[in-house]
Structure 1
Amino acid sequence: MTILFVLIRSMPGTFISQMITPEMKPAQIARLQEQWGLNEPLWRQYVDFMINYQTGNFGRSPTKQVPVWDIIIRRFPRTIILFGAGFVISYTVGPLVGMYLGWWRGTNKDKFIYTSGLTMYSMPAFWISWLFIWLFDYKLQWLKSAYMVDQFGVQDWTPMVAMGSILHHIALPLFSIAFVGWVGSMLVMRPSMNNVTGEDYVFLARAKGLSERTVLMKHAARNALIPVATQAIVGLAFLVDGSVIIEQVFSWPGIGDMLVSAVFAQDYPITQAAFFLLAVMIITMRLVTDIAYTFLDPRIKFGGE
């Protein structure tokens, strides 16, 4: 948080600069600075900043003229919906594909999917997004590429109409996230699965006469998932970073879009709150992953047991 405070205030100018008009007198400008606490010494601003954020007080947006919490309450669920769904899809498809590729490593199908996955993984998210917009919105006109719901032309909003509009708009950004996101977990699951196929418990399961599907799903896959759980933290961090790009490209009204607008407007309260919430998302996911370890690996227990 200290680094965040320093970086934001290292930007040239302040949001007060955008409020000043040629007709304003120095006394009026000084009153504005006093109103927003910018006349205080930097150390005092830092102390107030830390106290407020420890108590969840994000303050009031100078550019929107509303409490920051009001903006967050509207936008945060939209980011969770989009990137939560993207995370679930990526870490469902990726481990499943990696599991089968690791089990039948060296086949033509494995080589083709592995090479295709690496190609997808090397593509920038913004380039993929623009490509999908051009193909599915501009050329084919199958999906919508902007906003969360239809902005015009809807006369009678019902829950079903609203849900259909959301699904129509979320499909393209969600597809863009999953298109690249699944590859990371696949690249970890594939060698991990290949390693566990040589373990004694796999040979023992086969010796008992269990089917290949049972050996694969019940005995090998569970242990191969442990490295994937670790990689999920990195994957989530990339998704959070990608939220800024994806939401900007698709005009998705979430935290990432709010963050970019706030940075350009030098809106300190919104910028600080957005970074804070994105950090909380990553820390929370790390906690969930640590808890998931105890289910994937029985050797790991709470309390150092």
Structure 2
Amino acid sequence: MSLLFVLLRSMPGSFITSMISSGMTNEQIQQIRETWGLNEPLWRQYIDFMINYQTGNFGRSPTYNAPVADLMIRRMPRTLVLFGATFLIGFIIGPLVGMYLGWWRGSKKDKSIFSTSLLLYSMPSFWISWLFIWVFNYELGWLPSAYMFTQFPEFQWTAFTVMRDVLYHIALPIMSLTFIGWVGSMLIMRPTMNQVTDEGYVFLAHAKGLSERTVMIKHAARNALIPVATGAVVGLAFLIDGSIIIENVFNWPGMGQIIVTSVLNRDFPVAQATFFLLAVLVVIMRLVTDVVYTYLDPRIKFGEGE
């Protein structure tokens, strides 16, 4: 948070620039600066910043003219819906593909799918998004390319139509994100699966006469998932970074969109609050990962003495 404070204050200009007109006097300009706390020395602004964020007081946005907390309450669920769905889909498809590739190591299937996935992984997410917009919106007209809802609907809003309309608008962003997003977890799962296939417990499971599918999923894949769970936290961080690009490409009204707007407008309260909440989200995911460890590896226990 300290680094965030320094970086934002190091940017040229200030959000009050848009509030100042050519006819204002110096007294009026100083009054605006005092209202927003910019007349205080930096050390005092930093202390107020840390105290406010410890107490959850995010202040008021000069850009949106609304309390920052209200903006976060409205925007955060939209980002969680979009990127939560993408995160779950990516970390279901990726480990499954990595499991089979690791099990078929060295085969033609392994080499061909692995090479194709590396090609996909090298593509920029914004380019894939534009490509999908061109194909599915401009050429085929199947899916909308912007907004969360239909702007001027010709139907009555009900619970069912709202859900259907959101799914209709969210389909293209999810497709664009998952088209590349699943590869990261696959790249972690595949070599780990390669390693566990040579472990003694895998040979023992084969010796017991268990089916290949049972050995692969129940014995080999479960142990190979432990590094994937760790990579999920890193993957979430990269996914959040992608939200800044994808939400602006599709004009999705979430956290990524207001991050760009707040930084460009030097809106310190909103920028600080969004980065703070995203950091908290990563910490929560780290805690969830530690809990998942106990399920994947029975040797790990919480609350027990050594």
Q: Can you list the C-alpha shifts for 1:184-208, whole angstroms capped at 9, x where unaligned?
A: 1111111111111111111111111
Deviation at 1:152? 1.4
The answer for the alignment partner of 1:103 in structure 2 is 103
Distance in 2 between residues matched to 1:202 and 1:132, nearest whole Å: 42
Deviation at 1:155? 3.9
CA RMSD of aligned residues (A): 1.0
The answer for the alignment partner of 1:131 in structure 2 is 131
The answer for the alignment partner of 1:198 in structure 2 is 198
The residue type equivalent to 1:38 in the other structure is: L
The answer for the alignment partner of 1:85 in structure 2 is 85
The answer for the alignment partner of 1:301 in structure 2 is 301
- 1:272 and 2:272 matched: yes
Deviation at 1:154? 3.0
Deviation at 1:43? 0.5
The answer for the alignment partner of 1:218 in structure 2 is 218
Distance in 1 between residues matched to 2:30 and 2:155, nearest whole Å: 48
- Give the ranges of 4+ consecutive aligned residues of structure 1 lying more than 4 Å apart after TM superposition: none
Q: Which runs of 5+ in 1 are unaligned?
A: none
Deviation at 1:113? 1.0
Distance in 2 between residues matched to 1:265 and 1:155, nearest whole Å: 37
- 1:261 and 2:264 matched: no
Q: Structure 2 length normalisation: TM-score?
A: 0.98
Q: Can you list the C-alpha shifts for 1:18-42, whole angstroms capped at 9, x where unaligned?
A: 1001121111111111111111111
The answer for the alignment partner of 1:59 in structure 2 is 59
The answer for the alignment partner of 1:170 in structure 2 is 170
> What fraction of aligned residue pairs are identical, expressed as a percent?
67
- 1:43 and 2:31 matched: no
The answer for the alignment partner of 2:23 in structure 1 is 23
Deviation at 1:286? 0.8
How many residue pairs match? The answer is 305
Deviation at 1:65? 1.4
Q: Structure 1 length normalisation: TM-score?
A: 0.98
With 238-247 and 20-29 compared, the bigger mean Cα shift is at: 20-29
Deviation at 1:156? 1.3
- 1:76 and 2:80 matched: no
Distance in 1 between residues matched to 2:253 and 2:173, nearest whole Å: 12
Deviation at 1:153? 3.1
Distance in 2 between residues matched to 1:153 and 1:102, nearest whole Å: 49
Distance in 2 between residues matched to 1:143 and 1:111, nearest whole Å: 34
The answer for the alignment partner of 2:181 in structure 1 is 181
The residue type equivalent to 2:293 in the other structure is: Y
Q: Can you list the C-alpha shifts for 1:138-162, whole angstroms capped at 9, x where unaligned?
A: 1111111101111113341111111
Distance in 1 between residues matched to 2:22 and 2:155, nearest whole Å: 44
Distance in 2 between residues matched to 1:91 and 1:105, nearest whole Å: 21
Distance in 1 between residues matched to 2:287 and 2:153, nearest whole Å: 44
Distance in 1 between residues matched to 2:182 and 2:197, nearest whole Å: 22
Distance in 1 between residues matched to 2:272 and 2:105, nearest whole Å: 47
Deviation at 1:7? 0.5
Secondary structure (helix, strand or coil) at the match of 2:213 reads helix
The residue type equivalent to 1:212 in the other structure is: E
Q: Which runs of 5+ in 2 are unaligned?
A: none
The answer for the alignment partner of 1:5 in structure 2 is 5
The residue type equivalent to 1:218 in the other structure is: K
The answer for the alignment partner of 1:118 in structure 2 is 118
With 68-77 and 153-162 compared, the bigger mean Cα shift is at: 153-162
Deviation at 1:231? 1.1
Distance in 2 between residues matched to 1:68 and 1:58, nearest whole Å: 6
Secondary structure (helix, strand or coil) at the match of 1:302 reads coil
